[in-house]
Structure 1
Amino acid sequence: MKTEVLDASIEVSYDIAAKSLLQDELVAFPTETVYGLGAIATSEQAVAKIFAAKGRPSDNPLIVHVASISQVEQYVTTIPDNARKAMEAFWPGALTVVLPAKQGVFPPNVTAGLSTVGLRVPNHPVARKLLEKVAAPIAAPSSNRSGKPSPTSAAHVVQDLQGVIPYIVDGGETAIGVESTVVDFTVTPPAILRPGGVTEEMLRECLGDVASARLAHQSDAPKAPGMKYAHYAPDAPVFLVHEDRTRVVTALHSAKSQGHKVALIAPSSFADVGADVFMDAGESVDSFAARVFSLFRACNASDASVILVTVPERAGVGEALFNRIEKAAAGKWWVS
């Protein structure tokens, strides 16, 4: 299959992408978080192609993107007051709400056979225009091979899915860089299933009490993406290290003494600590989050045999960032 990259600044690109989606094909497109791999959410045949393209486990549910809050009522049995309040506060935006799904609306490969569905209204002009063009809900996980770093540019999608999907809409680099926050509103208090661009602090200010994120046990059926399986990993093994200059230097010396060529992903102030490959995460948690997946992919292009990542303060979007790098490292810290 030939993969064509469409320019989001050209009107005909949306006509081509929408026609492809409505013919049960896949289209990758940007959202404000990462690039999504879209299929019409009510088509079991189209959704099956997402799982085949990504190599995604079948018990991992998909997030469904819709154009507006008013559309949600078409797809769920009830919207609790706190869910509506969150939607009004954070939509369009990086919040996915898990609600009880109406029977027979979405095929079981969207919900992973669960009675719930995750929905969000994206806050990106390309995604919103595409939703308007197709006038249908779009299921769209990140457009990468399953388990690999999420794509934050069209070039990243090309790296993973060239020859696998027909179209990629190039809308430039994404702004937030980590996926949406997923909140389950079928429980009390609402539970954060995956931290993301809408922080726990923002949710608490809006809703009051919320339960913090946890990983799903291996025997559980995950209610949201990213709860159970290894994610976000570059090719070389990743290890966490405290964001402390002495500890980073010690870890670098230890890794090099074992014959490793070391890539270090860390704030700009760590550029001079002696890593073989230094990946600049900027000087703020927001910049780190926006760059982390791109930096993982840059490590793949280097000859590093091990990757060390400094752990940021776990406040605000730092919690989502920690969630992603901890999964990339499979929870491993470098021990000198």
Structure 2
Amino acid sequence: MSGNYATETVLADTDGIARAARILRDGGLVAVPTETVYGLAARADSDEAVARIYEAKDRPSFNPLIVHVRDVEQARELADLPHTADVLADLFWPAPLTLVVPRKAQAGLTAAVTAGLDTVALRCPDHPVMQALLAACEFPLAAPSANRSGFVSPTSAAHVAMTLSGRIELILDDGRPCRNGLESTILAVRRDNSWEQLRPGPVDLDALHRHYWDGPIDNAPPSGRIEAPGQLASHYAPGKPVRLNATEVASDDFMIGFGDVSGDCTLSGRGDLSEAAARLYACLHEGAASEKPRIAVAPVPNEGIGIAINDRLRRAATPPDQ
């Protein structure tokens, strides 16, 4: 059980960001908005601070964290970027794209950040608050999603408070839901420049590859190791059974609709996948808070960002013991 802290929510203005930087410098925890979901930030070079992330989230120690950096230059201080990763970072960062790359031995990151692996997950976030916080810190920030491990990810300050109030010092609130609403795409780039997608997300790797490179993506076969967040079979769980691809609703279902299938709440009445991604976790939070014992979700096309939506829904529907 994490220690008891008087968690405060403050505006993500200049004063709030400066206060957050001071807390982080002293080894504390701050929830901060990004373009994907809210992250739980701590300094990535401190054993004690990173241990507090795992404690506050009840996160298993074998599940690595994403390290957020200001820019490509800071990433190069922490990792040996294979050529393809270096090109991708130059072209696309800041973006909801995490690169799992070989870690530098002298990077100064605490071992718990990478769960003892020789790789590190790096991301340059595309959000003014997170970028301002990184600029105010002379150290990189480890920042997994700001929720209890395995539960629905937070896309608002209120979502963070639901599970982490009393466990962290501060929540920065910019007053808006997170823009993308889904965690970043995670791409492992090996030393031989082969690709392996570890988690689908807002960045469509197939489209990216077709636009910038010839030929198919040369993905390595899955290694079976947990190298990055979001790879556990059961994740993003609302705490009650979830039924997928539902076109009819039962009386005890909280129905999440999409397109022509209406519901108690709707991902997108017009069938827009980007809107559905942005609203997914808000709808799951609403279903979790409802009095109905089950959640049913309408079919979502498995294309574009719909692939990432269905990935999260499958994990939300998988019982925790699997």
TM-score (norm 1): 0.87
What is the Cα deviation at residue 143 of structure 1? 0.2
The verdict on how the C-alpha distance between 1:293 and 1:235 changes in structure 2, with shifts beyond 3 A counting, is same
Q: Percent same amino acid at aligned positions?
A: 39
Partner AA of 2:266 in structure 1: D
C-alpha offsets along residues 104-129 of structure 1, whole Å, 9 cap, x if unaligned?
Answer: 42111000000000101000000000
Q: Does 180-189 or 107-116 show the bigger shift?
A: 180-189
Which structure 2 residues correspond to residues 218-237 of structure 1 after superposition, within 5 A?
A: 221-237=225-241
Which structure 2 residues correspond to residues 123-272 of structure 1 after superposition, within 5 A?
A: 123-171=126-174, 172-186=176-190, 188-205=193-210, 206-208=212-214, 209-210=216-217, 217=224, 221-241=225-245, 248-249=247-248, 252=249, 255-256=250-251, 261-271=252-262
The verdict on how the C-alpha distance between 1:56 and 1:175 changes in structure 2, with shifts beyond 3 A counting, is same
**Matches of 1:203 and 1:235, distance apart in 2:** 35
Equivalent position SS for 1:31 = coil
**Other-structure match for 1:324:** 312
Among 36, 39, 58, the residue aligned to 2:39: 36
2:106 is aligned with 1:98: no
Q: Is the 8 A contact 1:200 1:316 kept in 2?
A: no
**Matches of 2:196 and 2:287, distance apart in 1:** 34
Q: Does 14-23 or 221-230 show the bigger shift?
A: 221-230
C-alpha offsets along residues 27-79 of structure 1, whole Å, 9 cap, x if unaligned?
Answer: 00000000000000111110000000000010000000000111111111x22
Equivalent position SS for 1:24 = coil
Partner AA of 1:103 in structure 2: A
Among 64, 68, 77, the residue aligned to 2:67: 64
Q: Is the 8 A contact 2:196 2:220 kept in 1?
A: yes
The verdict on how the C-alpha distance between 1:212 and 1:298 changes in structure 2, with shifts beyond 3 A counting, is farther
What is the Cα deviation at residue 326 of structure 1? 0.7
C-alpha offsets along residues 257-277 of structure 1, whole Å, 9 cap, x if unaligned?
Answer: xxxx11111215222xxx6xx
Q: Does 299-308 or 118-127 show the bigger shift?
A: 299-308
Q: Is the 8 A contact 2:184 2:201 kept in 1?
A: yes
Which structure 2 residues correspond to residues 106-121 of structure 1 after superposition, within 5 A?
A: 106-121=109-124
What is the Cα deviation at residue 227 of structure 1? 0.9
Q: Which runs of 5+ in 1 are unaligned?
A: 243-247, 332-336
Q: Is the 8 A contact 2:244 2:299 kept in 1?
A: yes
Q: CA RMSD in A?
A: 1.9
Equivalent position SS for 2:122 = strand
**Other-structure match for 2:53:** 50
Q: Which runs of 5+ in 2 are unaligned?
A: none
C-alpha offsets along residues 177-219 of structure 1, whole Å, 9 cap, x if unaligned?
Answer: 00001101115521110011111333322345325698774xx
C-alpha offsets along residues 272-308 of structure 1, whole Å, 9 cap, x if unaligned?
Answer: xxx6xx1111121111111111111001221111111
